Amino acid sequence: MNTNFPQLTDLRNPAFTQALQHKIDTKTKPLGSLGRLEALALQIGAILGTDSPTLQDPQMVVFAGDHGLVRRGVSAFPSDVSWQMVENFLAGGAAVSVFSRANQIALTVVDCGVKHDFLAGLPAGTQRPGLRVCKVPGAEHGTADSSEQAAMTALQCQQALQNGIELVKTLPGNALLLGEMGIGNTSAASLLLSRLTGLEIEVCTGAGTGLDADAVQRKTAILREVLARHPQATAPLDALAALGGFEIATMVGAVLQAAHERRVIVVDGFIASSAVLVAHALQPLVLQRCVFAHRSGERGHEFMLQYLGVQALLDLGLRLGEGSGAALAWPLLQAACAMLCEMASFESAGVSEKTAADPVIPG
């Protein structure tokens, strides 16, 4: 499958990093005393290319899609919950709606392939506030059952990627927060984790929407069956097409475009990280632009973060998805920027710096 995306530039710049580190080190605090917030400030400064970064017009985008595999019983909830939750997002009643509003983050929901017509009954050309419809022609109701055939054709997968790219081009601001909704998408994320990392599917599979232990075993057996049906789907986009979801594929395109534009990408939990996993397989430098908001309570997420070699900001036992963890982590990014831009230095505040220990005079 075509992987002709613009190559990302390497953000590593030793001289800039040294200057930015010096700015952090001379703030009115003991050296390194703000811990990982200092590393976060370094990363945001590198992404935005300035020692005084400001985060502007943050955009939370919730990518939604349905999965044909759900008919095999891999989720505790029916697929109708996907469209019902999209309506909840649009009405402002979901967790990600509340957390985004509390943090003044703009929220957009993208219909990448939900089995529902959100514009039914409306005059032609009518748009609903906060909703973007980016369905792939011929797959308006979501993916096929990946236990029987590829979830998407190669052409459909490419169209979903392009939809994500074009979407980001229309969004203001310099920060993209990733969210998702799709009953069955923990299965797709588990499949991608197993195929792209070589981990056994048992390690990658968790309770999702709340399956009990027996149901998790049945889910694992079904996912093993799916992997066996698509043994040749090993390249990143081939695996995405065979095993993934339209919301994940659209998110991959969005991640690649946001990275190309040097936006700060705030990654939510397991499913959002699976999109980054695919994007990383295509262009490893994408990780330089990604801040991982939290470590999910979903089993496979810890192994995904370990494989990528990254550490999440928070560990709150979250496993809701939607982008809820990304919204909760957002104030930490704001604080990192405020520290760089507003915190006084020893010199500007007239505060004495640490001095060397007094010499020991022999008695």
C-alpha span between 258 and 171 (Å, rounded): 10
C-alpha span between 171 and 186 (Å, rounded): 27
On whether the CB atoms of residues 119 and 134 are closer than 8 A, the answer is no
Residue 73 region, left (φ>0) first, then alpha (ψ -120 to 50), else beta? left
CB atoms within 10 A of CB 297: 17
Q: What phi and psi, each to the nearest 5 degrees, are found at residue 296?
A: -70, 155
**Which is catalytic among the residues 38, 200, 322, 342?**
322
Nearest 10 degrees: Cα torsion 280, 283, 284, 290: -60
Q: Can you give the C-alpha Rg of the chain in angstroms?
A: 22
Is there a catalytic annotation at residue 322?
A: yes
What's the token pair of residue 57? Answer: 């017009």
C-alpha span between 61 and 327 (Å, rounded): 11
* 3-state secondary structure (DSSP) of residue 62: strand
CA dihedral over 276, 279, 281, 285, signed as positive or negative: negative
Question: CA geometry: angle at 335 spanning 278 and 288, to 5°?
Answer: 25
**Burial annotation 50-74 (CB, 10 A radius, 16+ → b, else e):** ebebebeebbbbbbbbbbbbbebeb
Query: What residues act catalytically?
Result: 322
